Structure 1
Amino acid sequence: MDNNTHAENHNVNSTSTTISSDNLDQVSVQSNLHPLFLQNIDHPGLVLIYKKLIGKENFGPWKRSISIALSAKNKLGIVNASYKKPEETSSLRAQWDRVNDMVISWILNTVSEEISNVMDFVTSAQEVWEELHDQLSSVNGHRVYQVLKDLYALEQSDKPVKIYYHKLKNLWDEYAALEMVILCKCGCICGNHKLQEEREQRKKLLQFLMGLNNSYSTSRGQILNVPFIFNFTSLFLG
Structure 2
Amino acid sequence: MSYNKSSFHPAFIVTNIKNSVPIVLEMENVSYSSWAELFKIHAKSHKVLDHIIPPKTKAHPPSTDEEKGLWSTLDAMVISWIYSTISRDLLQTIIEPDATAMEAWDRLHDIFQDNQHSRVVALEHEFSSTAMEDFPNALAYCQRIKSLAD
* TM-score, shorter chain, exceeding 0.5: yes
Trace 1:119-158 onto structure 2 (pairs within 5 A): 119-137=95-113, 138-139=115-116, 140-141=119-120, 142-144=122-124
C-alpha displacement of 1:41:
3.0
Taking the aligned partners of 2:12 and 2:35, their CA distance within structure 1 comes to: 26
Q: Which residue of 2 aligns with 1:14?
A: none
C-alpha displacement of 1:77:
1.1
Q: Match for 1:70: what amino acid? A: A
Aligned CA RMSD, in angstroms, stands at 3.5
Unaligned runs of 5+ in 1: 1-23, 32-36, 151-158, 178-238
Aligned match of 1:71 in 8, 31, 44? 44
Taking the aligned partners of 1:146 and 1:40, their CA distance within structure 2 comes to: 42
Query: Structure with the greater relative contact order (CA < 8 A, sep ≥ 6): 1 or 2?
Result: 2
Runs of 4+ aligned residues of structure 1 deviating over 6 Å after TM superposition are none
* Structure number with larger C-alpha Rg: 1
Q: Is the Cα–Cα contact under 8 Å of residues 17 and 81 in structure 2 kept in the other structure?
A: yes
What is the aligned length?
Answer: 130
Q: Is the Cα–Cα contact under 8 Å of residues 85 and 96 in structure 1 kept in the other structure?
A: no
Q: Match for 1:64: what amino acid? A: E
Higher helix share: 2
Q: Match for 1:103: what amino acid? A: V
Q: Match for 1:143: what amino acid? A: L
Taking the aligned partners of 1:84 and 1:112, their CA distance within structure 2 comes to: 34
Trace 1:53-92 onto structure 2 (pairs within 5 A): 53-55=25-27, 57-82=30-55, 85-87=61-63, 89-92=64-67
Q: Match for 1:62: what amino acid? A: W
Q: Is the Cα–Cα contact under 8 Å of residues 51 and 75 in structure 2 kept in the other structure?
A: yes
C-alpha displacement of 1:110:
0.5
C-alpha displacement of 1:78:
1.2
DSSP 3-state at the match of 1:92? helix
Q: Match for 1:53: what amino acid? A: L
